[in-house]
Structure 1
Amino acid sequence: MLVNVSYSNKELTRKIDTEVGKPFTLKERWALGGIGSPRLFITEASLGIRNLLILDNNRDQCNVEIRPKGIIVRFRSLLETYALVIPYYKLTIYKGDLGIYSIYRDQHFLKVKADTKAVQKFFTKLLNHKADNAPTSIEDL
């Protein structure tokens, strides 16, 4: 689900919380060692996301937030903030050549550069969290 999250909208917040879970509490964030990624530079994106990113001349970057049942990838274009909401059962991550990670959800995808140890450590944490919390059967959804 690709949505504009620039403005406070209770209905949209409820939809996001239903899909990927409510944000972690401060205690849970501390126990996980943080839930946010470092700044990720976008190298390639699907058509819908690319059309948003080319509206301004800034460097394309995003960040990832880990939630209990999925992730939220946030990026900015012009003065708007967009979020790609991905539950774990729809999340696919590939590690490609030259340290490029590909994040997929249905027809949407982002390819980000993993040029530092911090980025690689974050993706390891994300994949471990997904393995521990992804639904194992259709009844778990």
Structure 2
Amino acid sequence: MLLNVSYSDKNITRKIDEAVGKPFTLKERFAMNGIGSPKLHIAQASVEINNLLLLDNNLNTCNIEIRPKGIIVRFRSLLETYGLVIPYYKLNLFKGDLAIHSIYMDHYFIKVHSDTKAIQKFFKKLLDHRTDNMPTSIEDL
């Protein structure tokens, strides 16, 4: 789901926590060597996301936060921050040509440049975490 996460709203926080889990504790973050991605440059995006990105003339960048049951892809448009909340069971990742990683959920997608070792290392960490925490049955959702 695509949400405006600029402001502290209990309903939005509750929706995010239900979909992808509560944020990791500080101790868990240290154990994982961080849960956030480096700055990712957006190469292409779905229509809804692209319409938001076209509103300003800034560089189109995003970052990814790993949560226990999914990820949040955050990007900025004008003075607002938006989050694409993706549970692991809806997440599809593809590595394409020319060092591009594609992140898909339902009808949303974001394609980002993955031209550095740090970004490739982060995507490997994300895939490993997803494999370890993917629901095994419908009751786990």
TM range (shorter): over 0.9
| Identity value in percent | 72
Query: Residues 54-65 of structure 1: matches in 2 within 5 Å?
Result: 54-65=54-65
Q: TM-score, normalised by structure 2?
A: 0.99
Please give the alpha-carbon distance, in whole angstroms, between the structure 1 residues aligned to 2:125 and 2:8.
30
Please give the alpha-carbon distance, in whole angstroms, between the structure 2 residues aligned to 1:56 and 1:129.
34
Please give the alpha-carbon distance, in whole angstroms, between the structure 1 residues aligned to 2:15 and 2:77.
22
Residues 30-75 of structure 1, C-alpha deviations (whole Å, 9 max, x = no match): 0001000000000000000000000000010000000000000000
Number of residue-to-residue matches in the alignment: 141
Question: Structure 2 regions of 5+ residues with no counterpart?
Answer: none
Please give the root-mean-square deviation of Cα atoms over the aligned residues, in Å: 0.4
Counterpart residue identity of residue 66, structure 2: I
Q: TM-score, normalised by structure 1?
A: 0.99
Counterpart residue identity of residue 28, structure 2: E
Please give the alpha-carbon distance, in whole angstroms, between the structure 2 residues aligned to 1:3 and 1:107.
15
The Cα shift of 1:139 comes to 1.2
Please give the alpha-carbon distance, in whole angstroms, between the structure 1 residues aligned to 2:134 and 2:88.
5
3-state SS, counterpart of residue 126 of structure 1? helix
Residues 109-135 of structure 1, C-alpha deviations (whole Å, 9 max, x = no match): 000000100000000000000000010
Question: Structure 1 regions of 5+ residues with no counterpart?
Answer: none
